[in-house]
Every structure is written in structure tokens, then in C-alpha cells.
Amino acid sequence: MVRKLEHGKLVAATHNAGKVKELKALFEPLGFSVVSAIELNLPEPEETEPTFVGNAILKARAAAEATGEPALSDDSGLAVEALGGAPGIFSARWAGEPRDFYAAMDKVRLELELTGSTDYSAKFVCVLAICWPDGHAEAFEGEVKGHLEFPPRGDKGFGYDPIFVAEGETITFGEMEPERKHAMSHRADAFKKMKTWLDQIS
């Protein structure tokens, strides 16, 4: 059975204001009215799954069940080659509470120095998941490859953006204008795959 996603209200199941802004920029031009978990005062579920896909579906399902509306979630993170893919699904947790991504970026730098590796290659991974109130879910994974540079540069974007330079670029995501980042990011890659699916079912 083909699952339709009607234009209208879509709950963004995230408490990250930076992600909310990017999701609104991606989905509102398609005719969706994006309202965030922050605006709805939804509790933030504990991310207990071992993969980006699992955690994305978990968050979307919790929001869909709580609101009775289709919910969209994003689970994303930084995977560093020399650190065996860490911080990965624990990217936000490396920033602690309250979230301090400058501390998290410094932790990445220190961990890399401990390895003695000169390989600073890394990628951002993003999974976008849509879940309906009945529990049905669809998930789409995207990534952008690049490398890390220290010290952090730029105050645009969020998270680990100030240390990530995408392949073919010379500036960090933290220095990049949002429109340019949105065109090449891991979130944009996942969104393109989701949009292809939306076009097929519409």
C-alpha cells in the first residue's frame, strides 16, 4: 500500500533550533506548515537506538503519537574516520548538558591528537524520517564527505559546522552562507531522496 503524505501540518520532532530552521527552509516551500516540538512543548525522547535510522524513527514516532499528526525527524551527526566513526550517534551527547559544541569540537581535536593520526577525513550523516500516527515510517539517509580543520572558524550554522570543510570547499560550514550549505549538506542529500519519494507518491 502506497502511503500518502498530504500537504498541511508537519511536526518537526526536534528540540534543536538550528535543525528546525533548516527543516522549515526545506519543507515549507513544498506546501507543508512545519511546527516544531519546541513550539508544541513536546518532551524530548531518550535516543536509545544504535543507529541514525533507528533514532530518527524513534523521535518521529514519539511526536506523531503525541500529536496525532505526521511527524518529521532528523537524526544526524559527525563521523570521524580516525575515531572509528565517533562521535556518530553520540554527537550531541559529546556536547553535554547544556549543549556546548565548542567543548565537543575540542574533544574531537583531543581525541584525534591521541590517535596520532594525520587523517582528518570525516563526514556528516543525516537521516530524515517521517512517521504517521499509526506508526508507519519512512526513512532517508544522506551524507556529505569532507575533512576537519582546527581551530573552529565561523559563526553560521550550528553544531560541528565550524570545523567541517566539505569536499571541494576551502571554508567551513560555519563560514558558509546558509543557502550554499543547504545546497550541499547531508540534510540536503537526505531531503533530495525524500523529495524523490514524495514526487513518486503524489
Q: Which domain holds residue 100?
A: 9-201
Active site residues: 75
Q: What is the pLDDT of residues 130-167, one digit of tens each?
A: 999 999 999 999 999 999 999 999 999 889 999 999 99
- What pLDDT is attached to residue 201? 66
Identify whether 21 is part of a domain: yes
Identify whether 84 is part of a domain: yes
Q: What is the pTM of this model?
A: 0.87
Q: Contact, 93 vs 48, CB < 8 A?
A: no
- What pLDDT is attached to residue 144? 97
Identify whether 2 is part of a domain: no
- Residues of the chain with confidence (pLDDT) below 50: none
Q: How many domains does the chain have?
A: 1
> What letters, b where the CB count within 10 A reaches 16 and e where it falls short, cover 50-81?
eebbbbbbbbbbbbbebbeebbbbbbbbbbbb
CATH number at residue 80: 3.90.950.10
- What pLDDT is attached to residue 16? 83
Identify whether 1 is part of a domain: no
